[in-house]
Structure 1
Amino acid sequence: MIPVRGSEKQFPVNMVYCVGRNYAAHAREMGTDERQPPLFFSKPGWTVNAAGSNIPYPSSTSDLQHEIELVLAMGSEQNIYGFAVGVDLTRRDLQARAKKEGRPWFSAKVFTGAAPVSKIIPTDNNFDFSNLMLELTVNGEVRQSASCRDMIWSPADIVRNLAGEAQVKSGDLIFTGTPAGVSTIKKEDKIHAEINGVVGLDFTII
């Protein structure tokens, strides 16, 4: 359950969908072609970690990396209920191995606390997401900073494409991709992610 800002309501999480390579600069830094169609993958709902929680450093990796993202909270198949800021934590060394061997990214993306998310800001399908700015700091140092205007696929495009491949339901979260600047984090690092200074997320790797 994720708190909804300005309300006593809680948002019940169902599935977590993620979009890969949705910012051209990040696609290039990962060695992929930004002109390809959206790449979707998923995480189970139990990977979501509420804002303000400590996150244990996952096993089997020596390269845990952060990916700040705009997160859409879905009210129904193609209706956006609200948005949040989230971080798609990734065991990058396991992802690189999976890519090399042509295997799914499951081991790289799925572990306890892999999807920390802030409170949800209620909105609707007419909201202009292009004015939102994402920023992530590690121990006070800016690592990622970008405008949602730089997305290759807009939130509306993402929802439309995903609905063509999966049954999007109320309670689903959609991580819309990360900008350039992903980097390694370690135990005791303090991560702060925010959107326009209006919604933020803080957690520590322990």
Structure 2
Amino acid sequence: MKPFEEMEEAEANAKKAEAEAAANAKKAQDEATAAVKKVWDFDNGTLAKGATREAYDAATNKVNAVTDEALKTSLNEALAAAEDALTQAEQTAAENEAKQQAVAQASIEQKNALNKAKSYLDYTAFSYSGLVEQLEYEGFSNESSTFAVDNCGADWNEQAAKKAKSYLDFSSFSRDGLIEQLEYEGFTAEQAEYGATAVGY
């Protein structure tokens, strides 16, 4: 083979290798992006529906193979957000399971206190401490009342908002006055402020 032919072949092989490397890099980027989308919803900035720890681990491995540093950084940021959200979801699931087990093993009085707590919340709003006090007023022990309120599933910010609305339905309050009234009802300062903000203050 003549020297110039050898040079052309070497150049062709180099270009072929370069093209294959680029194709492999693009494939790795596409696979990594697709894998991350299985755990992180880029459009909504939330955990993807059906995301699992296994899918997160798989995505992490795919991202490690990416050579484009800008894309890798972006995907790793999404993975970090997904990891935080997954951890929170796992903690919530564990807490819910623990609550379900606690309710399943509860005494008759605790179960009745829980049913009573839920029935109260069906027609009016309570703070955490206010509901405990109401159950104790009904004759339940502090232990059973606390158990019921811990396991009733109430969102205390939402309860503060409902209570704030009920106050404004029959009377007028300044923002500070409404917050003070909510705190008097047993809501924390943060919950009271949330309630006032929720009704437009």
- TM-score tier after normalising by the smaller chain length: under 0.3
Q: Judging by fraction of residues, say which structure has more strand.
A: 1
Q: Which has the higher contact order (CA 8 A, sep 6+)?
A: 1
Q: Which protein shows a greater Rg?
A: 2
Q: Judging by fraction of residues, say which structure has more helix.
A: 2
